[in-house]
Amino acid sequence: MNDQLILKFPTQQAYKKEDFYVSSSNQEAYDLINSWPKWIKRIINIFGPSGSGKSHLASMLKNKTSCLWIDSDELNEKTFLKFKTKEALIIENLNEKISEKLLFTLWNIALQDNKYFLITSTKPINSYKFKMKDLSSRVNSSLIIGISLPSDDLISVILAKNFSDKQIKVEKKHIDYIIKRIDRSYEKISQFILTLDKYSLKKGTPFSLKLIKEVLKMI
């Protein structure tokens, strides 16, 4: 295949079920989302490194039901009323800055009204040091599922999908070269893709193994 010039196209985040690659690192989380509404518990925490597919899984749930999907930093008291009109609530990127009172109230709404509640985070929610004992008790009663670091097969698919989303054509030998030399980290993979995209545009050179080597040294 001839070298391809990398051109600037609008990047689209593709969150389609068929684009989600299932591996041993995310099988349990995928099966859970796929089994909705037959969850053994209605309140779920899916945790894992940045870029591990948590938002993709959340999107799959959103497509199944009437759902309020919100980032934890955007939560406020208006969320209560919005949640009451929906069947499910998804809170993305939970962090320790969240109001415990707010989270506790949302948790109670889910329990009292038999709603579904999905929380995504980079670490398990039961590892957060909540001051409210009642909230800690609620957290410990939830179902917590982790997504582990990616296998070689999963890294290959993530790279291929990211290149495809950016309309960059690559050969398998290029992906194999990257896998052998990149850190086994979702965040590092994402950083590599973004850096490669920007660097190639800046240099205005064709996509090549030489370009890949230069970018790997940069991240």
The residue from 146, 179, 204 where one domain ends is 146
Candidates 122, 127, 177; CA nearest to 152 is 177
Q: Is the pLDDT of residue 1 over 60?
A: no
* pLDDT of amino acid 50: 86
* Partner residues linked to 44 by β-bridges: 118, 143
Question: What is the domain range of residue 166?
Answer: 150-218
Over residues 76-87, mean pLDDT: 94
* pLDDT of amino acid 6: 32
Q: Is the pLDDT of residue 204 over 60?
A: yes
User: In terms of domains, do 28 and 78 share one?
Assistant: yes
CATH number of the domain encompassing residue 131: 3.40.50.300
DSSP assignments along 97-158, one per residue: TS-HHHHHHHHHHHHHTT-EEEEEESS-GGGS--S-HHHHHHHHTSEEEE--PPPHHHHHHH
Higher pLDDT, 88 or 204: 88
Task: Report the domain count for the chain.
Answer: 2
Residue 79 near residue 58, CB atoms below 8 Å = no
- Full-model pTM: 0.77
User: In terms of domains, do 103 and 138 share one?
Assistant: yes
- pLDDT tens by residue, 153-181: 888 988 888 888 777 788 899 999 999 99
